[in-house]
Amino acid sequence: MSAPAVALDGVGFRRPGAAAPALEAIYLSIAAGEVVALVGPSGAGKSTLLTLLDGRLRGWTGCATTLGRALYPDRPPPRAARAETGFVFQSFALVERATARRNVLNGRLGRMPLLPSLMGRARPEDDAAASAALREVGLLDAAVTRVDRLSGGQRQRVALARCLAQEPRLILADEPVASLDPRRAREALRLLADLAISRGATLIFSSHQPALALEVATRAVALREGRIAFDGPAKELTETALEDVYGAAPRASLRLAG
């Protein structure tokens, strides 16, 4: 049996001077290939948890592994391990003045030998991976367009393509569709999940749109005040359960689709 994509054992984290921990007593095991929605109110710890799983958080406690490799609270993972985890940011984090293709190729940097990566020199296999990723998100025609000339939805797909070109086995996405209109958000999230599934990758994404998130995810993990308030099949995260998680949040914002 393969190692879980994520295993957290009693993980906690408190920022220096913070009144309350951002994460507390987190136990979580996510199998390879799962599609997991991370929900919960603002400040619940979703971004903190994703940052930890990406190997960028320092000073946490407990034990954590991703893709069978230990993470350490005092140092980033080695380069080869970092290449196996992809991250999609809400803000897309693209190089605005570069083309879509150059941005997607940036996703390959961690997979290139160090010297060519420093010189930004793509190998044929990197070009091929970039083209394949642009094709998969339907943006091959825009490959040589500068990103600052693309719409929000197109930029979001460039960010997805960059992540795919990296060929990650674990995809972490922090509110990846928050800046899109409802229809584009649904399409983009579906695309992200389908691409993850077709590549056998594990996907963990956070979202403030529980109804949408639960359409796409098979499993839901809800955080509240740094703790896991729900962990189970997405279809079991009912409106009542969501109200428990979100507390006094307005009912209308939580209503499930269908």
Ligand X SMILES: Nc1ncnc2c1ncn2[C@@H]1O[C@H](COP(=O)(O)OP(=O)(O)OP(=O)(O)O)[C@@H](O)[C@H]1O
Query: What are the residues binding ligand X (CB under 6 A)?
Result: 15, 22, 40, 42-48
What are 7's two structure tokens? Answer: 């295993």
Q: How far apart are the first and last CA of the chain?
A: 37
Whole-number Å distance between alpha carbons of 170 and 151: 27
3-state SS class at 230: strand
Partner from ligand X, Mg ion, none binding residue 240, C-beta < 5-8 Å depending on class: none
In whole angstroms, the minimum distance from the beta carbon of 46 to Mg ion comes to 5
In whole angstroms, the minimum distance from the beta carbon of 42 to ligand X comes to 3
Partner from ligand X, Mg ion, none binding residue 156, C-beta < 5-8 Å depending on class: none
In whole angstroms, the minimum distance from the beta carbon of 1 to ligand X comes to 31
Whole-number Å distance between alpha carbons of 106 and 199: 20
3-state SS class at 205: strand
The dihedral over CA atoms of 82, 84, 89, 94, expressed in degrees to the nearest 10, equals 80
What are 200's two structure tokens? Answer: 């056998």
Partner from Mg ion, ligand X, none binding residue 48, C-beta < 5-8 Å depending on class: ligand X
Q: Which of 13, 40, 47, 246 binds Mg ion (CB under 5 A)?
A: 47
Binding mask 115-154 for Mg ion (x = CB under 5 A): ----------------------------------------
In whole angstroms, the minimum distance from the beta carbon of 75 to ligand X comes to 20
Partner from ligand X, Mg ion, none binding residue 22, C-beta < 5-8 Å depending on class: ligand X
Helices (DSSP H) in the chain: which residue ranges? 46-53, 79-82, 100-106, 114-119, 124-136, 152-165, 182-198, 210-216, 239-246, 251-254
Q: Which of 221, 176, 211, 222 is nearest to 196 (CA)?
A: 176
Q: Which is nearer to Mg ion, 38 or 133 (CB)?
A: 38
In whole angstroms, the minimum distance from the beta carbon of 21 to ligand X comes to 8
Binding mask 152-171 for Mg ion (x = CB under 5 A): --------------------
Judged by the rule CB under 5 A, the positions of this chain that interact with Mg ion are 46-47
